[in-house]
Amino acid sequence: MPFFFFFIFFSLNSTIVSTCLPRIGSDFQEFTIASWVATAYIITFDAFQPLFSKFSDIFGRKWTLVTSICIFLLGSLLCGVATSMIMLIICRAVAGIGSAGIFSGVFVIISEMVPLEKRGSYQGLINSVFALASVFGPLIGGSFTDHLTWRWSFYINLPIGGVALLLLILFLDMPIPKTSFTDKLKRIDYFGTFLILAAAVLFLLALNFGGEIFPWKSAAVITPLVLTFVLIAVFVFVEAKFAREPLLPPRLFKNRSVVATLLVNWWFGVNFYALIYYLPVYFQVVKADSAMWSGIRLIPMQMVICVGSTTAGFMITKTGSYRPLIWAGTSLLTLHVGLVSLFNVSTDFSEIYGLTVIGGLGMGCLFSSTIISLQAAVEPKDISVVTGLGNFARLLGAAVGIAIASSILNSGLAQNLPKAIPAEYVESVIQSSLFVHDGLPKQYQAAALQAYADSLRMIWYIMVPLTAMGVVSSAFVKHYNLRRPGQKKEKPTDNTDTKKNKEDDPVDEVVVDHTHPEENVEASAKTQVLETSVNQHTKSVSP
């Protein structure tokens, strides 16, 4: 199945660069801006999520995905041959645009090819591929950097992506909208696209500037934040009043279940990425692990995410219920974050691995259940848009979570280190966490490590109530019948039935009432009665 190839090279690319950044910065002698190789990718990847979902409605699923892969491969090739840090950052932004189309496109195509009641198992498998590839990305990137060159971290995408592209073109057969290319271009909401892109980019830039490059109170941070909210207000007004075909239809935000699930995704992103980014910091600084080992220590959690996601997907397919998994996922994640706040200098690794099982199960449940919750709550015409919106919410939450965690850690270190070590060493420890082991006199190391552990715990103290907001949001998620009323369980075997024109079948015209999900069961019963009546009538008039 080509989708697994898409997710393998997409997932590898998302994490493979993390272990290459020190060498990249050294080669270009631009270490101070090396982090923007990752930041530029994240910004465009997040900002373009809703756009590609809408483009797939306009231009067709297959060719939107083909275009996305081509953009991604072009960006990867240019990254590999980059001659300066600025060129590399720009090319990573290009690759991020392509990745946005791949990520949203795969989920949208699955939603179109697989019935809703069977979709959970497929989503679970795809998420497992994502989690596994994310684990091995840093390991592969580190191996390339140590034994070949960091450029192969980008070249590796070309053969894998080429195979995926070939399989897609040869074997994926999906309908293409029958309008002219000019008519398709007219359907694009250009002004809305500009507004949402500008708002997302400004917001993400402000979060990346704040506390790292500029103080949070500086004009360089406050100005883009203010402009973000102004652009969002204009976007909402334009989409509601003037847009012929809105990029984000306002009707979606009138659906309580959609809004609740988006909030669950938001809080999930806030905490998931804070864990992924700052647990390795704990391992490297407090536990004195190498960069490679800090990645290896996350493998148990990622493996449990795979198991949890796959199991949750099959449970949704088997039971037709997704809300219990959302409730379980948010609760387990909250419990996990609370237990992580107990990590100290003396915490044993067996305890750490045991606690990651709790978090991994919660995350696995949420990866599979939230996307089904969103797709079940809307009409088929809105599935692509709401899928992209769900990814957008989670990734935007990730940016917020990382920014919050970074700010809390810096504040905690500024408060705790002066009490633990002489003043002349404080700034060096804050600027370079590894200075604790490499440059700080041994008599101060134990106190500095304790101060670092205390500062990291402050992150999780704040994250616990934020994660609990996901539990609260999940209470407002509604249940929808995953078997759409009017959808036939199997193709008819009677010759007369197979000759019927599909457009004339009244059963296929029954529509799900997404305003009152509790009525879906009644509607389904009426559908079965109607189908039985039609079949009996057909047989009675047959010769």
CATH number at residue 110: 1.20.1250.20
Residue 248 lies in a domain: no
Give the model's pLDDT for residue 486.
44
Lowest mean pLDDT among 39-53, 104-118, 231-245, 388-402: 104-118
Query: Looking at per-residue confidence, does 527 or 323 come out higher?
Result: 323
Q: Are residues 181 and 197 in the same domain?
A: no
Examine the pLDDT at 146 and tell me if it is beyond 90. no
Residue 260 is predicted with a pLDDT of 93
**153/289 same-domain check:** no
Of 484, 507, 525, which residue sits at a domain end?
A: 484
- Rounded Cα–Cα distance for residues 222 and 141 (Å): 36
pLDDT above 70 as % of the chain:
78
Q: Does the residue 358 lie in any domain?
A: yes
Lowest mean pLDDT among 343-347, 363-367, 533-537: 533-537
123 plus 225 within the same structural domain: no
| Same domain membership, residue 140 and residue 194 | no
What pLDDT, on the 0 to 100 scale, is given for residue 541? 39
The answer, yes or no, to whether residue 543 has pLDDT greater than 60, is: no
Residue 494 confidence (pLDDT) above 60:
no
pLDDT bracket for residue 538 (50, 70, 90): very low
What is the per-residue pLDDT for 3?
Answer: 58
According to DSSP, residue 210 is labeled: B
Residue 195 domain-assigned (yes or no)? yes
Structure tokens at 228: 């973000």
Q: Give yes or no for residue 242 having a pLDDT over 60.
A: yes
Most confident range (mean pLDDT) of 205-209, 213-217, 318-322, 412-416 is 318-322
pLDDT higher than 50, residue 487: no
- Residue 147 sits in the same domain as residue 6: yes
Count how many domains the chain has.
4
Residue 78: pLDDT band with limits 50, 70, 90? very high
Tell me the residue range of the domain where 223 lies: 190-243
Strand, coil or helix: 497: helix
In a domain, 67, yes or no: yes
DSSP 156-173: THHHHHHHHHHHHHHH--
Give yes or no: residues 103 and 197 share one domain. Answer: no
What sign for the dihedral angle of Cα 106, 110, 112, 117? negative
Secondary structure letter of residue 214 according to DSSP: B
Q: Is residue 489 part of a domain?
A: no
Within a domain: residue 249?
A: no
* Same domain flag for 264 and 383: yes
Determine, yes or no, domain membership for 423: yes
Judged against a pLDDT cut of 50, whether residue 230 lies above it is answered with yes
Same domain assignment for residues 439 and 520: no
Q: Do 216 and 285 fall within a single domain?
A: no
**200 located within any domain:** yes
Within this chain, do residues 115 and 165 fall inside the same structural domain, yes or no?
Answer: yes
Which one has a higher pLDDT value, 31 or 37? 37
3-state secondary structure 286-348: HCCCCHHHHHHCCHHHHHHHHHHHHHHHHHHHHHCCCHHHHHHHHHHHHHHHHHHCCCCCCCC
pTM over 0.85: no
Are residue 399 and residue 442 in the same domain, yes or no?
Answer: yes
The helix (H) or strand (E) run that includes residue 273 is helix 256-281
Q: Which residues contact 260 (CB under 8 A, 6 or more apart)?
A: 473, 474, 475, 476, 477, 478
Q: Which amino acid is at 301?
A: M
Least confident of 395-399, 457-461, 496-500: 496-500
CA atoms 156, 304, 367, 334: torsion sign? negative
On whether both 206 and 327 belong to a single domain, the answer is no
Q: Which of 353-367, 425-439, 471-485 has the lowest mean pLDDT?
A: 425-439
Give the separation between CA 535 and CA 486, rounded to whole angstroms: 14
Length reported for the chain? 543
Above 70 in pLDDT, residue 516? Answer: no
Provide the pLDDT confidence category of residue 328 given band limits of 50, 70 and 90. Answer: very high
Q: What angle do CA 469, 471, 476 make, to 5 degrees?
A: 100
